[in-house]
Homo-oligomer: A and B are copies of this chain.
Amino acid sequence: RRQQTQEPEALVTEILKGNITALSQAITLIESTQPDHLQKANKIIMGCLPHSRKSVRVGITGIPGVGKSTFIEALGMQLINDNKKVAVLAVDPSSSVSKGSILGDKTRMESLVKSNKAFIRPSASGNSLGGVARKTRESIILCEAAGFDTILIETVGVGQSETAVHGMVDFFLLLKIAGAGDELQGIKRGIMEMADAIVINKADGDNITRAKNAKVDFSRALHLYPPKTSGWVPTVSLCSALENTGIKELWLTIEAFVQKTKISGHFESNRIDQNKQWLKQTIEDRITRNFYKRSEIKAELSKQIQLIEAGETTPFAAADYLLSL
């Protein structure tokens, strides 16, 4: 029976009914490296595409220890109580070794895992961020077709993964905790500028004063940035995923964002821009990879780099030479 539901058309039909087993199987095909699986995956994606795009996509980043799992559990349960269907996906290119290092520990999302209105999927594995991100973006389409109206996409922020997640969501959320005086340190370059909201988690117990101070610091810091093209002014708020405070307010903020950007047209135009960007980037990644794969380029590239290092040629002359091969 299982074999039968692996057929693309049957899987699409089941996915459109909200069948989570079928959804899982289809995502497994997307994540496969076997050519026949990928062919099936492409058919499924095309079948789901007309039924996708109706969700709100929220990206969530924050360093390990910030309480992402607990936060997603709290936010997810809030949404489910609000009668929403929540899919939780992840982008973690480092998980190629220990497949699914993010969200692998589903025990941290106990309630969400049990709910039939939630779908949780660990990061696809893969060596390249491009590959992992592509699989996640295609999984979003399937989740949306399966009726999930809220997609949460988690990243730990390895390499450029935050930028990749930012490029596939409507709203981007930076989760922080107040530390011992250095709460504003160690924010990766560019992350704060991407955030639509900064949420300071673990604002509970002895931590509240520190969290409040951090909020002031972050609010001040956000002032440094120029207005966003969305017209949205990023918010800074406190929450305690543990005590379930600040979560509902955060979701109201996200809803306000969605409402505002849908009226202004930014919501839709941003998605179109994201798609164009992915088209462009996919093409450029692929033709670049093909170029460097050529045997004559492989042989000459390192020689040219040595000549550049020795000051015997310029990067431009080296490029001219390599392109003439």
Seen from chain A, the residues whose Cβ lies within 8 Å of a Cβ on chain B are 42, 45-46, 49-50, 52-53, 134, 137-138, 141, 184-190, 192-193, 220-221, 223-226, 272, 275-276, 278-279, 282-284, 286-288, 291, 304-305, 308-309, 311-319, 322-323
Q: How far is the CA of A220 from the CA of B222 in the complex (A)?
A: 12
Residues from chain B with Cβ under 8 Å of A42 in the complex? 317
- Report B-chain residues with C-beta under 8 Å of the C-beta of A279: 304-305, 308, 315, 318-319
Closest chain-B Cβ to A52's Cβ sits at a distance in Å of: 7
Chain B residue at smallest Cβ distance from A51: B311
Shortest 10 CB-CB contacts between residues of A and residues of B: A282-B319, A278-B315, A279-B315, A184-B224, A275-B315, A275-B308, A283-B319, A189-B193, A221-B224, A284-B288
Q: Is the CB of A317 within 8 A of B190?
A: no
- Report whether A312 and B49 are in contact in the complex, using a CB–CB cutoff of 8 Å: yes
In whole angstroms, how far apart are the Cα atoms of A309 and B276 in the complex?
9
Assuming the contacts A189-B193, A193-B190, asked whether A283 and B226 have C-beta atoms less than 8 A apart, the reply is no
Closest to A141 in B: B314
Q: With both chains docked as a complex, state the minimum distance between the C-beta of A314 and any C-beta of chain B, in angstroms.
A: 6
Query: How many copies of the chain does the oligomer comprise?
Result: 2
B190 x A322 contact (CB < 8 A): no
Q: List B contacts of A323 (CB < 8 A).
A: 283, 286-287
| CB closest chain-B residue, reference A228 | B189
Q: Could you tell me if A278 and B316 are in contact, using CB atoms closer than 8 angstroms? A: yes
The answer on a CB contact under 8 Å between A225 and B187 is yes
Chain B nearest CB: distance from A156 CB in Å?
16
Q: Which residues of B contact A226 (CB under 8 A)?
A: 185-189
- Cα of A184 to Cα of B225 in the assembled complex, Å: 8
Q: How far is it, in angstroms, between the C-alpha of A185 and the C-alpha of B221 when the chains are bound?
A: 11
| CB-nearest residue of chain B to A48 | B314
Contact A315 B184 (CB under 8 A): no
Contacts of A275 in B (CB 8 A): 308-309, 314-315
CB distance from A158 to the nearest CB of B (A): 15
- Across the interface, which residues of B come within 8 angstroms of A52, CB to CB? 311
CB < 8 Å neighbour of A225 from B189, B287, B316: B189
B190 touches A190 (CB 8 A): yes
Closest CB-CB distance, A46 to chain B, in whole Å? 7
Residue among A52, A134, A314 with most chain B CB within 10 A: A314
Q: What is the chain B residue whose CB lies nearest that of A218? A: B224
Q: How far is the CB of A281 from chain B (nearest CB, A)?
A: 8
Q: State the Cβ distance, A101 to closest chain B Cβ, in Å.
A: 23
Q: Are A223 and B185 in contact (CB under 8 A)?
A: yes
CB distance from A160 to the nearest CB of B (A): 14
Which residues on B sit within 8 Å (CB–CB) of A193?
189-190
Q: Which partner residue on chain B sits nearest A288 by CB separation?
A: B284
Is the beta-carbon distance between B224 and A276 smaller than 8 angstroms? no
Q: Which residue of B lies closest to A291 (CB)?
A: B287
